[in-house]
Each structure stands twice: as structure tokens, then as C-alpha cells.
């Protein structure tokens, strides 16, 4: 009898305890919150900003699918002691959103090179290619088939530009803003086939040749910039990879200093934090030989690395000195790397890095003159659901971590799953039986949610991605569009290109006074160096 009494008490206790605030049971709660949201939307659409975007910031969460942003929202909320589902991320605060179709010319499921080219250059191309149209069959055809990015168009307009990433700066996404090449993996000349080296410039060389036009470069990627006989300053056992003997980092410093610029190269966090933004014209920060550390592993880096948000803050402080404005590209690229490895907790932590960077950037800028775009280049085969109850740990077992559900094979499963990747596991080599998950396993940061198909690395998804926008002309982000449309919104909003002079908002731009230009500490010598969007040049 005592056991039956205790069982009844426990049952009653569970049924009377709600997993959510009691006020949410009331219709008045949802009416009030709904009315407030409607009035907020009415105000936003009554005050649409149709002015010129002086500044443009584009943040790309590499592989940041809708499932990732949803799970990331819950993850952040739960880390802050909330249930999680009703948390509001920085992405959630953007007033305008739309969807972008991500396919490339030759692939239903795209890669970061073709999507980066679409987002930044306004042209769909074939997978693996950067800054060129699909007509470029071989690298020698890159010049005649190249297309110009928002960054390059901003340079032509006299704006300052910057690139921030936590991957190598030669990675496909940032490279799409400055490189024109048919193979995304030609980071240095060593990676270019011998027969192509004479006529095809590697990505690191193309970045160096645009040194005058790009004031801030922050990320990883020291090795592709150095010869193979030069030791890395942080990891002496590692050397550069260039075969041409050029040390592009030293050349960058020497050339800019010779031109009278205050140019600084840094490779660790202490040096980075000590950079004086007021006296620095150009900043090159390369914090690892290749990719930077995941946030969860950053403590292992003895020399220290800045966060994505810290790099964004420094970049804006330097770029905003130009009275003509700036273009800044930010990539949270480690999110994609984590998804490929099936490391969901790492991926969600990298989502927080992106969200934090957006928060910093929006706090430092104004919607009056800054077009802010945030999106993904593509998604991943990442799902989040499983019938989980409200407030269930985002990495937990479905449908409840306390009372998990067993699938038809009598084994537990998690709310997060991957369609493909290294998380596939079987209990026996002879009988294909799924490995059982222990409830405590999910708390390990290296826990891999199971995948349906065994692959060494998870694949991208072919789904549309969400585009978030605020600032001048941000209302143009709407509905479902080709991914290449996003670049044209930037071109139009910031009047990037001669063809946009015909539009009224571009004709009404207020011109800078000579005094403003004289007071500017960022000099724009692009015209002096002969940069024209219609022709290749080395010194931009």
C-alpha cells in the first residue's frame, strides 16, 4: 500500500507541474504578445529606409541551416537557464527575411565556392569555382570570364573593405570576395598543377595583389602565404607551403610601409588586442597556419586567438574611419567544419560565435546608413526534433532526457540527428543493429549524434537558406529568390557600379567635402593604382 501511495503522489506531482510558464495557458498572453508584434511590424513597414547604404556588412554562417539556427536558439536559451524554445537570438531580431535557393549550375547540392560567388558576385557558377562564370572551363579562361564582387566594387567606389573569418582567409567563402579562379583548393602555388602555374595565380597571391584595397584581413591561413622553408612562429614544426619562395606576409608589410601606410601584422591574441585602431591603416591578422580553433578548443591555443566577435569589433573600428563607408565580409566558417565532422555541440557553439559577432556589429552600426545582411551559404544534413518535450536538453534524448523513447529497434535516439556523416554506428559487424546510446553520453562535448548513412564527413543539404536583413533597402530581402539576387541587393542599396547611377537614391547621395576627405586617415589609392572593374590589376 505504501508503494502504491508513493506512486500516486509522484504521478500527481508530475501532472501538476508544467514544463512551461503557466501564463502561456492563457489566451490573453498570446493576444497581448501577438498585438505587440503586429504593431511592431506595422511601424517597421511604415518607416522603410530607402536611402543609400553607406556601409554594407555581410555575415555568412557557413552551413547554417534553419535547423541549426533553431537548435542554436534553444541551446543559447538553455545555457542561460531558460527553457530555450522562446529565446530570441540576434538573427531573430532582423526586421526583414527571405529565402535563397542555393543550387549551383551543375549541382543540386552546392559547395561554398559556388554559393560564395552567388552571394558576393551576383552570378551562379559551377561548384568549386570562385569569382568566374560557368563559361570558364579551365583556369586560363578565368580572366575573360571573371565577375566582380561587392568587395571589389566597394574598392572602386573608394570605400574601405575588410574580411573576417575563423577559417583560413583563402577559404572558399572569403576568397569569393577577391579571387577569380576555377579551383577553390588552389590556396597556394603548391596546390596549383605544375602545368597551370605560369598562367594561373593561386588564391593567396590574388589576396596579396589586392592589398591596397583591403584594409583588414583577419583569420587563419599563414602557411599558404609563406615559402616551404620558413617555420611557423607559433608551431616551429610546421612550415609554409609555397614553392615560389615568396613570403607574402613580409611583402605585405614592406610594400605598405614603403607607401607610407601604418600597416601591422599580428599572429596572436595579445598582439591583436594591442593594435591601436586610430593609428592603424591596414591590419593583417593570421592566427593559425590554416583554420583557427573551435570555440570549445580555443583554451588549447597557448598563444591565444581572438573570437569572431573581437575580430569584427576591431575591423569595424578601423574601417569606419573612412568617411566614404566600408564593406565588411564576416564568415563563421567553423560551424560548417563541425557539421562535417558530426560534432553537433561544436556546431551549436560556433553558431553562438556567429550570433555574438552579429550582436557586436549591430551595436556598433546604425540601421540608418548600414545595410546588414546575415545568411548561410548552404545548409547541412542536420535535423532537430524527434518529438522532444518542451525544455528538453537540445542535445538530449528524445522525447525526454528523463523518460527517453525507444525506437522500433528498442534503442534510444537523440533529438538531433544527421542524415549523413561519421555518426553512423552499428552494434555488430555481422548483424546491422544500431548501437545503443547511453543517457550520459550526450553530455560529452565530442558526442556525435547518429547519422543514417555512414560517410567520413557529413554532406551539405540542398535546402533553401534564410536571409536576414536590416538597414537601407533591406525590405528588398523578401520571398524566395535565387541566391545570386542577394548580391544585387547590395549593389543597388550601396550604389556599387556605374549602372546604378540612374536610380534616384544613388543620384541623391550627398558628396563628401574636401575637408572630410583630408581629415580621413584612410586614403583610397585605388584609382591611383589603376583598378578598374573591367580589367585585371595586381595592386588593389
26-60 residue pLDDT tens: 888 888 888 888 888 788 777 899 999 999 999 99
How far apart are alpha carbons 291 and 24 in whole angstroms?
A: 45
Helix or strand (DSSP H, E) at 10? helix 2-16
pLDDT tens column, 359-375: 999 999 999 999 999 99
Whether the per-residue pLDDT at 13 is higher than 50: the answer is no
pLDDT tens column, 62-73: 999 999 999 999
Helix or strand (DSSP H, E) at 360? helix 344-364
pLDDT tens column, 208-224: 999 999 999 999 999 99
Confidence of residue 428 (pLDDT cuts 50, 70, 90): low
Read off the pLDDT of each residue in 517-521 and give the average, rounded to a whole number: 41
Beta strand 263-266 pairing with 282-286: parallel
* Arithmetic mean of pLDDT over the chain: 90
182: its cell numbers: 576555377
Whether the per-residue pLDDT at 513 is higher than 60: the answer is no
Would you say 242 and 188 are in contact if contact means Cβ atoms under 8 Å apart? yes
Confidence of residue 436 (pLDDT cuts 50, 70, 90): confident
Residues annotated as catalytic (active site), given as ranges: 112
| Interacting residues of 100 by C-beta distance below 8 A, sequence separation 6+ | 375, 464, 465, 466, 467, 480, 481, 482, 483, 485, 486
Whether the per-residue pLDDT at 537 is higher than 60: the answer is no
User: Of 213, 192, 195, 212, which is closest to residue 203 (Cα–Cα)?
Assistant: 192
| Interacting residues of 51 by C-beta distance below 8 A, sequence separation 6+ | 368, 369, 472, 473, 505
Read off the pLDDT of each residue in 446-458 and give the average, rounded to a whole number: 95
pLDDT of residue 429: 67
Whether the per-residue pLDDT at 523 is higher than 50: the answer is no
pLDDT of residue 42: 82
Whether the per-residue pLDDT at 9 is higher than 80: the answer is no
Largest CA distance in the chain: 93
Read off the pLDDT of each residue in 168-182 and give the average, rounded to a whole number: 97
pLDDT of residue 43: 81
CB atoms within 10 A of CB 215: 28
User: Of 346, 351, 343, 350, which is closest to residue 422 (Cα–Cα)?
Assistant: 343
pTM of the model: 0.89
Amino acid at each position: 500500500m505504501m508503494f502504491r501511495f508513493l506512486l500516486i503522489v509522484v504521478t500527481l506531482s508530475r501532472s501538476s507541474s508544467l514544463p512551461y510558464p503557466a501564463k502561456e495557458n492563457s489566451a490573453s498572453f498570446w493576444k497581448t504578445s501577438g498585438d505587440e508584434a503586429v504593431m511592431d511590424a506595422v511601424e517597421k513597414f511604415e518607416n522603410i529606409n530607402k536611402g543609400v547604404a553607406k556601409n554594407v556588412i555581410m555575415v555568412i554562417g557557413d552551413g547554417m541551416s534553419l535547423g541549426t539556427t533553431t537548435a542554436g536558439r534553444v541551446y543559447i536559451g538553455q545555457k542561460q537557464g531558460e527553457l530555450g524554445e522562446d529565446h530570441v537570438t540576434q538573427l531573430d531580431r532582423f526586421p526583414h527575411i527571405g529565402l535563397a535557393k542555393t543550387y549551383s549550375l551543375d549541382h543540386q547540392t552546392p559547395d561554398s565556392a559556388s554559393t560564395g560567388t552567388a552571394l558576393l558576385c551576383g552570378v551562379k557558377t559551377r561548384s568549386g569555382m570562385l569569382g568566374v562564370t560557368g563559361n570558364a572551363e579551365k583556369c586560363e579562361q578565368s580572366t575573360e570570364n571573371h565577375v566582380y564582387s561587392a568587395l571589389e566594387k566597394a574598392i572602386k567606389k573608394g570605400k574601405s573593405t575588410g574580411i573576417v573569418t575563423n577559417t583560413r582567409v583563402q577559404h572558399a567563402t572569403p576568397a569569393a570576395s577577391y579571387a577569380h579562379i576555377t579551383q577553390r583548393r588552389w590556396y597556394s602555388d603548391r596546390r596549383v598543377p605544375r602545368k597551370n602555374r605560369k598562367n594561373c595565380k593561386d588564391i593567396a597571391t590574388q589576396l596579396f595583389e589586392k592589398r591596397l584595397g583591403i584594409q583588414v584581413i583577419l583569420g587563419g591561413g599563414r602557411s599558404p602565404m609563406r615559402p616551404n622553408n620558413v617555420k611557423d612562429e607559433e608551431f616551429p614544426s610546421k612550415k609554409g607551403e609555397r614553392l615560389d619562395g615568396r613570403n607574402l606576409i613580409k611583402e605585405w608589410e614592406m610594400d605598405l610601409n614603403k607607401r607610407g601606410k601604418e600597416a601591422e601584422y599580428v599572429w596572436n591574441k595579445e598582439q591583436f588586442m594591442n593594435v591601436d585602431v586610430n593609428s592603424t591603416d591596414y591590419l593583417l591578422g593570421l592566427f593559425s597556419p590554416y583554420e583557427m580553433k573551435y570555440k570549445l578548443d580555443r583554451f588549447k591555443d597557448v598563444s591565444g586567438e581572438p573570437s569572431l566577435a573581437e575580430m569584427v569589433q576591431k575591423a569595424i573600428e578601423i574601417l569606419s574611419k573612412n568617411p566614404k563607408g566600408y564593406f565588411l565580409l564576416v564568415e563563421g566558417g567553423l560551424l560548417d567544419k563541425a557539421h562535417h565532422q558530426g560534432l553537433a555541440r561544436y556546431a551549436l557553439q560556433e553558431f553562438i560565435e556567429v550570433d555574438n559577432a552579429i550582436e557586436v556589429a549591430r551595436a556598433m552600426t546604425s540601421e540608418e546608413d548600414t545595410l546588414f545582411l546575415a545568411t548561410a551559404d548552404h545548409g547541412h544534413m542536420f535535423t532537430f526534433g524527434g518529438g522532444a518535450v518542451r525544455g528538453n536538453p537540445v542535445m538530449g534524448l528524445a522525447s525526454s532526457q528523463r523518460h527517453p523513447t525507444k525506437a522500433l529497434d528498442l534503442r534510444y535516439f537523440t533529438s538531433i540527428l544527421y542524415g549523413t556523416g561519421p555518426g553512423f554506428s552499428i552494434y555488430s559487424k555481422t548483424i546491422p543493429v544500431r548501437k545503443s546510446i547511453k543517457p550520459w553520453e550526450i553530455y560529452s562535448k565530442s558526442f556525435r549524434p547518429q547519422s543514417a548513412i555512414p560517410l567520413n564527413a557529413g554532406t551539405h543539404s540542398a535546402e533553401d537558406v534564410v536571409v536576414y536583413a536590416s538597414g537601407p533597402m533591406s525590405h528588398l530581402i523578401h520571398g524566395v529568390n535565387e541566391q545570386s539576387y542577394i548580391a544585387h541587393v547590395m549593389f543597388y542599396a550601396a550604389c556599387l557600379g556605374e549602372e546604378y547611377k540612374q536610380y534616384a537614391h544613388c543620384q541623391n547621395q550627398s558628396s563628401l567635402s574636401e575637408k572630410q576627405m583630408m581629415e580621413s586617415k584612410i586614403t583610397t589609392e585605388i584609382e591611383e593604382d589603376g583598378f578598374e572593374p573591367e580589367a585585371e590589376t595586381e595592386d588593389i
